[in-house]
Amino acid sequence: MYTIGQAAKATGKSKSTISAYVKKGAIAAKRNEDSSYSIDPADLHSVFPPVGTVSSSSDPQSSDPDGTNLILQNLSLRSEIKLLREQLLQKDSVIASLRQSLAEVEEQRKLALSMINWQQREPEPPPAPPRKGILAFLHSLIGV
């Protein structure tokens, strides 16, 4: 844990700058009983790089003449790409499965709808009751 003064020396910033960042909440710090602050180095260096380190804007080749960092970064990126491709294939598989399920549900919906429509159809009227008497006899002779 750093004090404000130690944090200022570690980052090359002034005490007032470190104090201002602590008060803004940009750097998490714990207030001690004696009113001083304890600053976690990891949190401090996530905001300000340590003194003597190469910033990301400078030439990376000057601190790494044999390209080891680039090789490691390349390997890291390749493994990340491989992982992302595997995740993409897995998501494609899930999408295909969901599409298949959706098609099956749609077929079931159509079948259920057709069954409901079939049940709601008007029943055919019953045939007219047969005629009785002499008129029925005469109609049966002439085929009406």
Query: pLDDT by residue (tens digit) across 111-138?
Result: 999 888 877 777 777 777 776 788 777 8
Q: Using a pLDDT cut of 90, give the percent of the chain over it.
A: 33
Mean per-residue pLDDT of the chain: 84
Band of residue 70 on the pLDDT scale cut at 50, 70, 90: confident
Range with top average pLDDT, 68-72, 100-104, 130-134: 100-104
Segments making up each domain of the chain, as ranges: 4-52, 69-120
Residue 2 pLDDT more than 80? yes
Do 4 and 18 contact (CB within 8 A), yes or no?
yes
Region 78-103 average pLDDT: 95
What phi-psi label fits residue 67: left (phi over 0), alpha (psi between -120 and 50 degrees) or beta?
A: left
Model pLDDT, residue 53: 57
Model pLDDT, residue 103: 97
Band of residue 104 on the pLDDT scale cut at 50, 70, 90: very high
Model pLDDT, residue 97: 97
Looking at this protein, which amino acid is placed at residue 24? Answer: K
pTM score, whole prediction: 0.37
Do 32 and 38 contact (CB within 8 A), yes or no?
yes
Beta partners for 120? none
Please provide the size of the chain in residues: 144
Band of residue 99 on the pLDDT scale cut at 50, 70, 90: very high
